[in-house]
Amino acid sequence: MGLFDRIKRAFTGEDAVVKEEIEKESSPIVFDKYDKGMEKTRKNFSDRIADLFSGFREIDEDFYEDLEEAFISADVGFNMTIALTDAIRDNIEEQNVTRMDDVKRVVIETMVRIYEQNESGTHELNTNPDGPTVILFVGVNGVGKTTSVGKIGYQLKQDGHKVLMAAADTFRAGAVEQLNVWGERLDIPVVTGPEQGDPASVVFDAVTQANKENYDYVLVDTAGRLQTKANLMKELEKIKRIIERENPNGVQEVLLVLDATTGQNALIQAKQFNEATEITGLVLTKLDGTAKGGVVLGVRYDLDIPVKYVGLGEQATDLQVFDAENYMFNLIKDVIDEEE
Ligand code: GDP
């Protein structure tokens, strides 16, 4: 059953049953992580919706304007806001609803439907059937790139894979050391080079070692700060070329790490990086620390790139494979509860 049908059922009084189903399908632990990690975003979002409806009398232009403002301030982004408001207007007119509860249901159902329509591709990592799976992590400094490499390394290792990490962020002071600390803690080997050294040579060493010693995954922490897009492009192309030479299937994933607390800035960064290289997935960190978690909807709408992981806390297990049902249900469940 699709997400849309589930949400519809939740609105018709089956919310407890729907919650149980989603919980069972993922696992109560995962559901709990989304529940806690999305607390701030959920509260912000349901407060806005509550405000919107507190003075509700009828559907008029003011209502649509307030609705737009609510979406903008939940950081879902400009384009998604316009698309949402237009679709909500159409649905309200088509279904001819006037009662507050019905309008609220239409608002939420439209959100879910638009999200579902834009939802393509899988959240699972692409893998290499003939050798080590190579994953490049890109993103500006401070977004949580190195931490995400460590957390994903930990999870892959827990799943029984042989993991190698490459500290190719040779330009940021301390980045190599930081990855070494993760490596020691997780007992995952880290390939390093000299600070300020050539990142591509670290990548070369890592892929050569991975081939020779039959590693399943090579996680590459790349440099975040390269002054211009042209430099960034050149650097990433060089890294990819070197990997392709050693590993015929090349790179399986280029994951862009974004800090959700930066809201619309994250969206701008995603666009810039996507112009410099082909991004295959997003890692949205620090969702737990922000009320701007609506940015997940914005990036999904504006860029055709799947969100693959979300950071819901500081622990290694808090970086979770993105699950649209858990995300959406945990975003809107307080709005549904207000119904009763
Ligand atoms: P980098 O410069 O992109 O490599 O960033 P770091 O990996 O050094 O991370 C910057 C900070 O963000 C660190 O203090 C991390 O602990 C923190 N951080 C990363 N991901 C998350 C997350 O999902 N939730 C929270 N609360 N903090 C995070």
Average pLDDT value for residue range 23-48: 92
Tally of CA atoms within 13 A in the half-sphere of 179 that contains its CB: 30
Residue 119: pLDDT band by 50, 70, 90 thresholds? low
153 pLDDT above the threshold of 90: yes
Nearest-CA residue for ligand 1 atom 12 is 144
CB distance 152 to ligand 1 below 6 Å? no
Percentage of the chain beyond pLDDT 90 is 55
Q: Which residues pair with 165 in a beta bridge?
A: 190, 219
pLDDT of residue 77: 87
Could you identify the atom of ligand 1 that is nearest to the CA of residue 178?
Answer: 8
The alpha carbons of the chain give a radius of gyration, in whole angstroms, of 22
Residue type, 71: F
CB distance 150 to ligand 1 below 6 Å? no
Average pLDDT value for residue range 268-285: 91
Name which of 7, 33, 32, 3 is nearest 287 in CA terms: 33
**DSSP three-state, residue 139:** coil
pLDDT of residue 64: 93
CB distance 189 to ligand 1 below 6 Å? no
CB distance 315 to ligand 1 below 6 Å? no
Residues 6 or more apart whose Cβ sits within 8 Å of residue 9 = 17, 18
Average pLDDT value for residue range 65-80: 88
Q: Which residues pair with 133 in a beta bridge?
A: 217
Lowest-pLDDT range, 160-169, 250-259, 292-301? Answer: 292-301
Residues 6 or more apart whose Cβ sits within 8 Å of residue 218 = 132, 133, 134, 135, 164, 165, 166, 206, 207, 210
Distance separating alpha carbons of residues 11 and 105, to the nearest angstrom: 7
pLDDT of residue 116: 77
H/E element holding 200? Answer: helix 199-212
105 pLDDT above the threshold of 70: yes
Name which of 227, 175, 230 is nearest 202 in CA terms: 175
Assigned token pair, 178: 């930081």
Q: Probe ligand 1: pick from 147, 222, 262, max atoms within 8 Å of CB? A: 147
Give the model confidence (pLDDT) of 289-336 as tens digits. 999 888 888 888 888 888 999 999 988 899 999 988 899 899 988 888
Tally of CA atoms within 13 A in the half-sphere of 297 that contains its CB: 31
Percentage of the chain beyond pLDDT 70 is 96
DSSP assignment of 120-135 equals -S-SSPP--TTS-EEE
Q: Which position has the token pair 């931490």?
A: 147
pLDDT of residue 223: 82
Nearest-CA residue for ligand 1 atom 11 is 144
pLDDT of residue 121: 62
Separation of 311 CA from ligand 1 center, angstroms?
A: 9
Separation of 256 CA from ligand 1 center, angstroms?
A: 14
- pTM, whole model, 2 decimals? 0.90
Separation of 285 CA from ligand 1 center, angstroms?
A: 7
pLDDT of residue 161: 97
256 pLDDT above the threshold of 70: yes
245 pLDDT above the threshold of 90: yes
Distance separating alpha carbons of residues 170 and 193, to the nearest angstrom: 7
Give the model confidence (pLDDT) of 126-139 as tens digits. 999 999 999 999 99
Distance separating alpha carbons of residues 63 and 106, to the nearest angstrom: 14
For β-strands 253-259 and 190-191, DSSP reports them as unpaired
Name which of 210, 222, 208, 131 is nearest 163 in CA terms: 210
Q: Are 263 and 292 in contact (CB under 8 A)?
A: yes
pLDDT of residue 1: 66
Distance separating alpha carbons of residues 114 and 116, to the nearest angstrom: 5
pLDDT of residue 300: 81
C-alpha angle with apex 304: 296 to 109, nearest 5 degrees? 50
Q: Are 240 and 270 in contact (CB under 8 A)?
A: no
Residue type, 329: F
Q: Are 192 and 202 in contact (CB under 8 A)?
A: yes
Lowest-pLDDT range, 87-96, 107-116, 204-213, 310-319? Answer: 107-116
Could you identify the atom of ligand 1 that is nearest to the CA of residue 147?
Answer: 7
Which carries the bigger pLDDT value, residue 37 or residue 340? Answer: 37
Residues 6 or more apart whose Cβ sits within 8 Å of residue 99 = none
pLDDT of residue 227: 66
Nearest-CA residue for ligand 1 atom 20 is 144
Separation of 72 CA from ligand 1 center, angstroms?
A: 26
pLDDT of residue 340: 44
CB distance 286 to ligand 1 below 6 Å? yes
> Rounded mean pLDDT of the chain?
90
Residue type, 153: G
Nearest-CA residue for ligand 1 atom 25 is 286
Average pLDDT value for residue range 137-164: 94
